[in-house]
Amino acid sequence: MGDAPFLSVEEISKTFHSDQVVNQVLDSISFTIQRGETIALLGESGCGKSTLLNIIGGFERPDQGFVKLQNEPITKPSRKAIMLFQHYGLLPWKSALKNVEFGLESSSLSAKERAERARHYLDLVGLSGKSQMFPHEVSGGMKQRIAIARALAPQPELILMDEPFAALDTFNRYHLQDQLLNIQAKEQTTIVLVTHDIDEAIYLADRIFIMHSNPGRIHHEIHVELSKPRDRSHPDFYAYRKQILDEFHFSRQESAIEFHI
Amino acid sequence: MKLKFLAPAGIGFILLIAVWQMVYTFGNYDAVLFPPPLAVGAAILSLIQDGTLITHIQVSLYRFLLGYLSAVVIAVGLGLLLGRLPLLWSILDPIAQVIRPVSPIAWSPFIVLWFGIGDIPAIVIIFIAAFFPVLLSTVGAVRKVDASYLKVAENFEVKGFPLLFKVIFPAAFPFIANGLHIAVGTAWIFLVAGEMVGAQSGLGYLIVDARNSMRLDFVMAGIVFIGVLGLLLDKVVGVFERWINRQWGIRAT
């Protein structure tokens, strides 16, 4: 079994029915992911990328096909694949530390071990001094860092991110993306990231799956072969950017040269 | 801030007492049938001085707290379960909707015949008065719990009683606290009625007893105490509710 892929998505299809409208959101999607990879699912809203992420997490069932994590089919949510949400999903009545400990709620650790591990992961996201703060007392960026610490605490095989930084301003977003790269280098977590932010996809992902809608399909796969951490202003970065913009037909094909030297 | 609230309130009560006194003076009413402010003040003082007031208040608060708190515990417990069992609730909800609008006093013949006289009828009536608002607000609160909390709990494999007590109850608590606040008012209103049914003590009995001896000044004194105590209870629960909201990070609107 050693050579089975870490995560395999096979022939996933999903259709939503509402009144008379039949909407095929996903049409036989297949791919595999290796341990430690970061994958970005990039597409416009409505292309089914969040539905696909929910199916990988076990929150929704596909009509056809299946998802296997370490060769075991995923049928329901579990601590092996933790989802991070755009709006953090923190429990407002718990302190940062207790929120992280909540990630270990169903583990067999003792109360002391839980607190220790929660502290360790709060340190890792740079919030060691804020463990007693409540979610409403900290900024959006800190909330997402608490959520990341909580997701890491049970040491999941896979982290699923549903537009995790979309609610943050640009500077916070850049800062958190860097932090995520650091953490990923240390923890070797496998990440599937859903985003509509092209720069975010290029900055974080090893491979980018470009999704188009009606029905949702993976249109194209792009290997980002730049070493991390990447330079957002490097010409190579822009080359990937242009390639993706072309995919979405946002580039101007025949833009006139605006000036000559 | 406190002053801003107290000054208009003081003016309001001074006006009320002034109008009351003027109606009495110019209306030429019988003091027995229409006790003037001074007579009521004297009645209040004498009730405080001879200690009967303290006894009545103690008895009333004891019945109120017993009836109210047992209703809260049972209704919140049931509400948490029923909120999570929509099928069962769809069967029980119509029954609750039929019983809820019935005044608890309507049950008093049953209550007296089944439980006799003494403390229990008042406690049962307060229980009924508090039970339904708390039950309905708890069920509603549980069903309104943010789906993202449930998704997170599912993701971390938290289920069963830990899910109920560590996620659903705290998530629903601000809404439940709102139901508790409403129920305090309702239950306090029915305290008097409850104590008119077979009780031999308490603020409600004070009023019945004064009426029987045609002492309307004492009736009025009883009414004043019930109003003031009701206001205080409401404030206490209001403080509790605000504390909950602060703790839960809900901004007061």
Query: pLDDT, tens digit, for every residue of A30-79?
Result: 999 999 999 999 988 888 899 999 999 999 999 999 999 999 999 999 99
- Residue A92 near residue B167, CB atoms below 8 Å: no
- Show the tokens assigned to A171: 């500077």
Position A128 confidence tier, pLDDT thresholds 50, 70, 90:
confident
Name which residue leads in pLDDT, B253 or B86. B86
B155 contacts chain A (CB < 8 A): yes
Is 60 exceeded by the pLDDT of residue A230? yes
For A178-206, what is the mean pLDDT? 91
Query: Which pLDDT value is given to residue B127?
Result: 95
- Assess whether A162 and A74 both reside in one domain: yes
**DSSP, res B169:** H
At B47 the three-state DSSP class reads helix
Q: How many domains does chain A have?
A: 2
pLDDT for position A102: 94
- Would you state the pLDDT for residue B112? 87
Q: Using CA atoms, how far apart are residues A28 and B6, in angstroms rounded to an integer?
A: 70
Q: Are residues A207 and A171 in the same domain?
A: yes
The set of residues, in sequence order, having a beta carbon less than 8 Å from that of B253 and lying 6+ positions away, is: none
CA distance A168 to chain B (A): 19
Containing structural domain, residue A62 = 1-80+157-251
Shortest distance between the Cα of B1 and any Cα of chain A, in A, equals 25
Cβ–Cβ of A83/B171 closer than 8 Å? Answer: no
Interface of B with A in 97-126 (CB under 8 A): none
Show which of A122, A155, A188 is a domain's final residue: A155
Cβ pair A216, A62 in contact under 8 A: no
Please report which helix (H) or strand (E) contains residue B146, including its range: none
Secondary structure (3-state) at B202: coil
B148 in contact with chain A, both atoms CB, cutoff 8 A? yes
Residues A119 and A108 grouped into a single domain:
yes
Residue A213 contacts residue A47 (beta carbons within 8 Å): yes
Instruction: Name chain A contacts of B152, Cβ cutoff 8 Å.
Output: 85, 89, 91, 102
HEC letters along chain A: CCCCCCEEEEEEEEEEEECCEEEEEEEEEEEEECCCCEEEEECCCCCCHHHHHHHHHCCCCCCEEEEEECCEECCCCCCCEEEECCCCCCCCCCCHHHHHHHCCCCCCCCHHHHHHHHHHHHHHCCCHHHCCCCHHHCCHHHHHHHHHHHHHCCCCCEEEEECCCCCCCHHHHHHHHHHHHHHHHHHCCEEEEEECCHHHHHHHCCEEEEEECCCEEEEEEEECCCCCCCCCCCHHHHHHHHHHHHHCCCCCCCCCCCCCC
Q: What is the pLDDT of residue A168?
A: 87
Distance from CA of B189 to the nearest CA of A (A): 33
Q: Are residues A122 and A233 in the same domain?
A: no
* Alpha-carbon gap: A86 to the closest alpha carbon of chain B (Å): 11
Task: Decide if A18 is inside a domain.
Answer: yes
Cα(B106)–Cα(B177) distance, rounded to whole angstroms? 27
With a cut of 60, say whether residue B251 has pLDDT above it.
no
pLDDT band at A257 (very low <50, low <70, confident <90, very high): low
Q: What type of residue is A121?
A: Y
Please tell me the predicted confidence (pLDDT) of residue A11.
Answer: 92
Tokens of B57: 């208040």
Query: What are the C-alpha distances in Å from B108 to residues A104, A237, B115?
Result: 52, 80, 10
Quick check: A1 pLDDT over 70?
Answer: no
In this prediction, residue A255 has a pLDDT band, given cuts at 50, 70 and 90, of low
* Inter-chain touch A89–B151, beta carbons under 8 Å: yes
Q: Which residue of B has its CA nearest to A135?
A: B249
Residue A174 domain flag: yes
Lowest-pLDDT range of A92-101, A211-220, B12-21, B206-215: A211-220
What is the rounded average pLDDT of the residues A80-107?
92
Is residue A256 assigned to a domain? no
Domain range B31-247, CATH class:
mainly alpha
The reply to whether A236 and A111 lie within a common domain is no
Q: What is the mean pLDDT of chain A?
A: 89
pLDDT digits (tens, 9 = 90+) for A99-111: 999 999 888 889 9
Listed by start position, the domains of chain B span 31-247
Sheet with A21-33, edge to edge strand ranges:
A21-33, A7-18, A64-69, A72-73
**CATH code: domain of residue A239:** 3.40.50.300
Instruction: Give B225-241 pLDDT, tens digit per residue.
Output: 999 999 999 999 989 88
Upper half-sphere CA count for residue B76 (Cβ side, 13 Å): 21
Percent of chain A with pLDDT over 90: 52
A71 and A108, same domain (yes or no): no
Single out the residue in A155, A182, A209 at which a domain terminates. Answer: A155
- Does residue B183 sit in helix, strand or coil? helix
Task: Count the helices and strands in chain B (H runs, E runs).
Answer: 11, 0
| Rg of chain B, C-alpha, whole Å | 22
A68 & A192 share domain: yes
Out of A155, A179, A197, a domain closes at A155
H helix or E strand, kind and range, residue B189: helix B169-196
For the stretch B57-71, pLDDT in tens is 999 999 999 999 999
| Token code pair at residue B153 | 């709990």
- Option in A83, A104, A135 nearest B155 (CB): A83
Q: What is the ipTM for the molecules in this complex?
A: 0.86
Å from A245 to nearest chain B CA? 33
Which residue in A78, A81, A89 is closest to B152 by CB distance?
A89
Q: How far apart are CA A207 and CA B195, in angstroms?
A: 75
Residues A115 and A180 in one domain: no
Within a domain: A259: no
Across the range B124-142, mean pLDDT stands at 94
Span A195-200, average pLDDT? 92
Question: For residue B251, what is the DSSP state?
Answer: P
Q: Could you tell me if A94 and A37 lie in one domain? A: no
Q: Please give the residue that has the higher pLDDT: either B28 or B74.
A: B74
A256 pLDDT tier (thresholds 50, 70, 90)? low
Task: State whether A243 and A162 are in the same domain.
Answer: yes
Query: How open is the CA angle A12-A16-A20, to the nearest 5 degrees?
Result: 145
In chain B, % of residues over pLDDT 70: 97
Looking at the structure, tell me whether residues A5 and A125 fall in a common domain.
no
Q: Mean pLDDT of all residues in chain B? A: 90
Whose CA is closest to A208, among A219, A196, A223? A223
pLDDT at A261: 60
Same domain, A170 and A239: yes
Q: Number of CB pairs < 8 Å for A and B?
A: 62
Is A77 within 8 Å of B247 when comparing Cβ atoms? no
pLDDT at A23: 84
Rounded CA separation B36/B200 (Å): 27
